[in-house]
Amino acid sequence: MSASRKLIFYLLLNVFLSACVTLAVLFIYETYYRPSTLPQPALAAKDSASFEIAAIVGAGLPDSEMVLIRNTGSAVSDLKNWQLRDEDGNTYVFDALLLPANAAIQLRTAPGTNSVIDLYWGLAASAWVSGETATLLDPDGNMRSIYQVP
């Protein structure tokens, strides 16, 4: 067997083994890890705004850390005066923001300039750690969604 054929054989073998390992890791993640990290929305009153914490990504990394808030209602709803809290007492109060049904907004921990899809909390340090609980409160202070950071 020539050297180039051996090289191609080993490259194909490497690709195949890498794909198998990746699939195995994804299967284990989906089977044992992901179900425990799904959002746990609180019950919402009928005919009112309904938002949930859909995900918290990049916990512990202030420059990439973000919370995804989703409108689970069937109409455009305003996030004005809704609050996001962590267990350490950090609170973000949303300004007036109309969010269409099934749409989401990203709240980033780091400082920055708000845009159509990104809001910035302006914290210098990370707000979230693994195992911590995030709470979303409506303008009346009622808990509407909780999420445990993976």
pLDDT digits (tens, 9 = 90+) for 80-120: 999 999 998 899 999 999 999 999 999 999 999 999 889 99
Supply 120's token pair. Answer: 């910035």
Residue 35 has pLDDT above 60, yes or no: no
> Which amino acid, 121?
W
- To which CATH superfamily is domain 40-148 assigned? Lamin Tail domain (2.60.40.1260)
Question: Average pLDDT in the 21-48 region?
Answer: 63
Confidence band (pLDDT; 50, 70, 90) for 23? confident
**What's the whole-number average pLDDT of the chain?**
86
Q: Where are the domains of the chain?
A: 3-37, 40-148
Supply 3's token pair. Answer: 């050297």
pTM value surpassing 0.85: no
Q: Determine what percent of the chain is predicted with pLDDT higher than 90.
A: 57
Exposure b/e, 16-47, CB count within 10 A at least 16 = b:
eeeeeeeeeeeeeeeeeeeeeeebebbebeee
C-alpha to C-alpha distances, 131 to 86, 141, 148, nearest whole angstrom: 11, 23, 6
The DSSP string of 54-100 is EEEESTT-TTT-EEEEEE-SSS-EE-TT-EEE-TTS-EEE--S-EE-
Supply 8's token pair. Answer: 């191609």
